[in-house]
Structure 1
């Protein structure tokens, strides 16, 4: 019992240490650690308990979550799939070519809703494919071939609308091919799928008519070697994108649909070894057909069809055992690309006449067991002619070469001669030879499901494939065909295997067609280490950690204090918030998503020691400096002054919010600095200052009516993004002209998120909070109720819009702009009788849509929030107004050098002026 208690204590300590220091999400790490204990032969680099942080082979992470597991050909062994379905951020799972992985797929695999690639090729999985696989709606590649899966094909696969590759071949699947019937789904719903690979199973029943349709994009339909019966559906002829059809080795009956001739892109049609009957329709429309195999059927056609001689792309013709009669047409030998003609087991008779001409590609004519009585050709030519079992050989007892059946004659279109697959042996001191380029090669069988050539003894073809493969791997930086390597590491093998399992390598389709790869086990990894020693180290490390914590619990006084100080010093450099003061209204440590932490010394260098000439603005918060990064990029560095009225909370809010929002109409936060008592924010540099600078004339930029509408639209789009697309929604709480910045194209960017608030689901659209904001823009309903809502931002936007048309500040000379416009408006008169209070810079120009723009502004400043539009509705209305004014709302403003005028060439443009901070921050309610 004592030893058990100690183990439990060590386990608790280990978990606590992991929570403190790990990079990997604790749940994801637990799944992988469990796999490590359940599987044999896991990579030796799987050390420690932090897969992302410790760089485990085959594991890729994004933001602490495991997103990819690629471990093909690792020699893994285990009987369970594990708790992999708990990795809810997983996008790629490839365990291919690990024959030792057995067991079944759990129903919970449906939890991997972000999975795009599922590759389990060549493993030992059994049992049914769970119906929950239909939940993986992001799935693009589903490769479960070459396992021992049983049961039926789940109809739910029809729910995978993004599926590109479906490969369930070479399993033990039974039953019919599922199609939808109004209540269930089926494969007919996969209109975007390119590959149906269902061969080498035990599927039965008829091929449903509705499985094919004209809106499908199928390229390969491989239903070969099953137990399918009934007719070939005529709907097959509607799928014009098809390149390969393999229905061979089934029990199909009936006639071949005549509309198959419409498949002009088809390269292989294999219908051999069925029970098809009736006459053969003309396939003359198949202008790209390479391979035609109709062998072992019961067609009523007695002669070789004349249309066969018109298939100019044909390389292989096989019509064995089809009860064909008559003489072999002379024109057939002249097909320009024909390599192989297999016509054995028929009743062809008369003379075999090739002396009148034949294709220089022709290499084999197999006419065994026919009725040929005469041969007119050139004996000893390079064409292999087989006439054994014909009268010309039997009656005369001739010993001509064409009467002898070669021992290695062409017997199967899909079998490679052994001499083309020879493997040379290499010793460790001989890494390069004519037959071997690597002392410990990674090997496997590359199987082509539809070879579109037939001269399998031609070494040139294999040399071309080897060259193509080598070029592919070398161009992708993979260690293939490299004589400098003695062996591969696990990453190398895994990457090469992944190339095949993921179908990244595409062989020349005009020759090789679809393929699959079965990798051999690899036992010579160059990174294999003493895993026992490593495991012992881990145990020792955990024990030492447990001992330290035990001592801490016994000496909780002075020792705990000293340890805390030591930990603070150790993490100061790595943790920019090691001294974040949670007691000074700054809340918990910020949670950031991508913002970079700059050191004080870096920013000091980028600003030339915060030189005064780089001071581009100041206010209640502090100063803003222009800086130049090492890559030449300009940045704006907002440096808080000591004792700033905006403290840690505002600093934290701004970096948290801006690090998680990305929109062209929201200012971009590049990073921050939080050391030496400094609080600095690093933004993208906005060269043309704020909208306030421009309306006040300080920037020197003149804004016409068109540009003002575009600025209004851009700013509205930015805040609509915060309200409607950010998760959770963000209320800016300080919309005003000094917080709308203008870049070099006068694109509006919303800035300054120091007062912003997140709205969680529990707060139902509003949050009760202390009133903060800027005089003149503040929502009166928010002021009265202290309930902040998204409509509070809408009110501020209404004030901003009135500021745009009048050029006046919200409160000027004791007058409030909302009240002034409301009192002056007369909708019965031109421009609502507002000409006297409009900005003089636009009053003499064409102001199409101004009345509707004022209507929009006034609807935004309604006293009750429920009467105001949403920001999404504001965006749509501005777009409508721009179209009325003849302005395309989706065209950006022109560049500053060509589209706007400067009042003064010497104007200094910057986003942070004194006025930018004039009304910012908090204020007592009594002063409103």
Structure 2
């Protein structure tokens, strides 16, 4: 037996096998070494990006994270988001077995990389989200092995070449979000294996959907949203037996919806909203897999199909803003999966399905602006997740369902302009999460509605006194009761209104004195008490307010106006009050001293005696005080200084003693809800710092403590040119100071809106001129880069939660800095929503879903920044769209009504050479303020769009005259609340 191995080795067959195995190992080893050399050369040709530093000569390529190996051979490269800025070198195709190449989300310039034609085995190519320009080459079919091609998010132009139809192996073709301005070919219909086709967000020449697309039997996704489609939807699409997702939103399609679409067995998502489709909705429906039907914003007529009641998987039914008539089929109220039912602004009538919500978990219910009669369904909140009930402007009657009073998930109730009778359910006033209400009465029970943020009841017929209970709402930020018939005096105890920013009580019959307590509202920015019957003096406590807007006109006020309002920023604030005067009149008001001299003149001898006595007392007091207090002050200064702790984040040219000694009223430049801000000179001549002081009391407020900790945690660790620099923090047990770099040009809102309001980190002595467009655009880019860094480049993503123009500060060169992180939160995981205990931020900038759910992610900052972009483009304030809308709502109304963008732009700076760039910023502001968070771009996309618009951008950039984001404007939903 011991000789068996030797005899066995002598057999010719085994020897041959061993030789072959040995040779195979040698070939594999040589191949690995060859591929390593290729990859290291590739790394060098790509500019040695730091993101792939793991590629080195001491390890195997198959161990590198970005390399995919199959049986020891390089088969794929995952090079997405690696900050690659070089063109693709031909070296990549030296990898003879390369089948997979992903270079998405980089900064690769140039035209389509024809060097890839030599990658003969390539079946997956992803070049999306780069800077590629020019046309797709006519000979694209040389990549004959391709099964998946992703070219979306680039700047490809021209037409899609017909020879793309020769790539018969293609399964996915993603060409969306480019700059195609030619045509798309009918030859796409030859791609018999195609499963996903995306041509959305392109400005094709007006084109019909090719009949040949109906030949794509394996197609599951057809996405042509905002692709400049015209004509009718071809009947041939009814042959797409595998189709699951059809999205033709935001085009100019007309004619009838093909009956066959509702017969496709696999169709799940049908999005046809915002077109010009007419006729009736097909009545026969056999597509029982449908989960989403959105046919809103068309010109459809007729009735809602009875067969919709068969769709047991249906979650979204959106038919708003059409010409539908008739009744809602009762069977729709029985659908078990329905979560959103939106049919507002139609001609629907009859009784609403009485069992609506009973068998489903309904979240959204909007039937407003129709002709419904009868009662509101009793069981809308049976699933316990109902967020909004909007049934205003109908003919509904009877009592409001008692069940709504037990619906703790409610955020918004709008039932005005109906014929309801009886009392509103008592429980509705105690719903924990309520943030928006429009009804008819204002009951005393509103005091238990602790989470209310916005109370809007303008232009109704409310009468009587304003209930005192409304003053006890701690989170109320906007109270709008203008245009009613309220009378009597205002409640005098308003200490709970710490979050109030806007108060409008104009055009009522209110009387009596204005309460002194108004001066204690730390965040009040907008105050309108005009056209009432208020009398007496303006409370001197108004000097403590930092108002952007004040209107006390057409009352019966008398006496001296507070000194801070005696400037041209308030030239229309005191009209039609004949008994008001000013000490140093700048406005058109009488001189108070002239009146005083005319009414009271003291004899000269008496004045002389009073003067001598006063001077004597003053001198004696000074001498005694100097001797008694000197030693005490020295000891106290040392003791106080020892109680402070300085934590530095930068190299400082001052000490805590310098800062503490300068916290005087002479250096005070602003104040807000969490403290005061001082402008203090540093030890270096001509330099200043901004010091934010919070917690001025003995007992630390828990909310302010959290704000302080958040701001220090964030600003102490991040470094970015567009984020305000925190130099240090100085803290004691009872007071805490944040020391920032000083911004010479203060905040953006002061330059845009010309109000005499103290910035959080600037002075009040700047004389403002109109901010020209190049400067505004520079500010937009800088602020976007700061937010992009927070969202995408920090190790832990940061959500600001209070982005607004007053929190964008400007240095001496008008470079933007994001500031005021007291409300920011650091998320544990990027993209993961985080629930806040209460809505924070400033009205006019708050994303709609934030007010509904308090579920936050980066998209709430995108919404707020969109409002800032609209401010920059229009010059309007965030709450001044018109009398009843915010700026974002106003802008979307202009868009929805088809008004030219140029008419919305700031008339003071509108010049022909800037119009395209201004239009792009306006359109980008619209996209960012879309009501659907998923439709808003990321800050990375926003920053990139702005950068490409800049004529100073690097690389293959679009100029302002070439770049247009208007094609991205889709998904328009109802915005008025």
By relative contact order (CA 8 Å, sep 6+), the higher-ranking structure is 1
Does the TM-score normalized on the shorter chain lie above 0.5?
A: no
Please indicate the TM-score interval, normalised by the length of the shorter structure. Answer: 0.3 to 0.5
Q: TM-score, normalised by structure 1?
A: 0.40
Q: TM-score, normalised by structure 2?
A: 0.38
